[in-house]
A and B are shown apart, each in its own frame.
Chain A
Amino acid sequence: DAKTTQPTSMDCAEGRAANLPCNHSTISGNEYVYWYRQIHSQGPQYIIHGLKNNETNEMASLIITEDRKSSTLILPHATLRDTAVYYCIVNSAGRRALTFGSGTRLQVQP
């Protein structure tokens, strides 16, 4: 699976959009980009995933660059409950297990 690079930590003001970047420059054609988050010590929670088109759901938007070498997770109106570690994961279609990196620790400030 392609390696991902994320900032170690980020801050965001409550009510503002949180934009979390991820680099995956070695991504190959059949690899998807997944985003999960982990609030405190709870089980990881799925947010969104995509292949090449931008995706949106009730939690977030995923913007993938045209060359697919990077992506951005957007939480449109961050709340204090969005404080968590956010993981960007690239996973090939044939591999069932996701590999978690260190992620980005997002702190939403009041």
Chain B
Amino acid sequence: EPEVTQTPSHQVTQMGQEVILRCVPISNHLYFYWYRQILGQKVEFLVSFYNNEISEKSEIFDDQFSVERPDGSNFTLKIRSTKLEDSAMYFCASRVSGGNTGELFFGEGSRLTVL
């Protein structure tokens, strides 16, 4: 069964450092998402991406965050200057179409620890 894969599974970084989290969505999917979950809290939407541009973003997705689909297969989330409160599990997701016509497939997540 096709799946969304994410790397790294766990990254530890120092505050102020840049971090790039990588995702390989399912190959025929067109809509891509990043969510995060701080330990013990809700799964929070960050950003959605379609046709090589951001289609929707939340208040959390401020200027320190960016997304890119550099090569047609990878979908990356960059955090420019990490803060302690960025420590969370980051989930990538993809779906074949927008609206309500398809399920959202999630990866297993990348755990980010900022020291």
A contact set with B: CB distance below 8 Å: 32, 36, 38, 41-46, 49, 51, 87, 91, 93-102
Q: Mark B15-46, 1 if CB is under 8 A from A, else 0.
A: 00000000000000001010101000011110
Q: Interface residues of A: mostly helix, strand, loop or mixed?
A: loop
A82 to chain B, nearest CB (A): 18
Contacts between chains A and B (CB distance < 8 A), count? 56
A–B pairs, 29, beta carbons within 8 Å: A32-B100, A38-B43, A41-B37, A41-B109, A43-B4, A43-B91, A43-B106, A43-B108, A44-B43, A44-B91, A49-B100, A49-B103, A51-B100, A87-B43, A93-B99, A96-B31, A96-B48, A96-B55, A96-B56, A96-B98, A96-B99, A97-B33, A97-B45, A97-B56, A97-B58, A98-B45, A99-B45, A100-B35, A102-B42
Query: Across the interface, which residues of B come within 8 angstroms of A42, CB to CB?
Result: 108-109
- Let me know if A100 and B108 touch, CB within 8 A: no
On whether the beta carbons of B50 and A96 are closer than 8 Å, the reply is yes
| Given A96-B98, A98-B104: A43 in contact with B45 (beta carbons within 8 A) | no
Chain B residues closer than 8 Å to A36, beta-carbon distance: 104
Q: Which of B51-75 contact A (CB under 8 A)?
A: 55-56, 58
Is B79's CB within 8 Å of the partner chain A? no
Q: How far is the CA of A7 from the CA of B5 in the complex (A)?
A: 32
Q: Does B42 contact A100, Cβ atoms closer than 8 Å?
A: yes
Q: A96 vs B108: C-alpha distance in the bound complex, in angstroms?
A: 21
Q: Shortest distance in angstroms between A104's beta carbon and chain B's nearest beta carbon?
A: 13
Chain B residues with CB under 8 Å of A38's CB are 43
Closest residue of chain B to A46, judged by CB? B103
Chain B residues in 8 Å Cβ range of A51:
100
Q: Which of B42, B43, B56, B58 has the most CB of A within 10 A?
A: B43
Q: Could you tell me if A46 and B104 are in contact, using CB atoms closer than 8 angstroms?
A: yes
Q: How far is the CA of A43 from the CA of B91 in the complex (A)?
A: 6
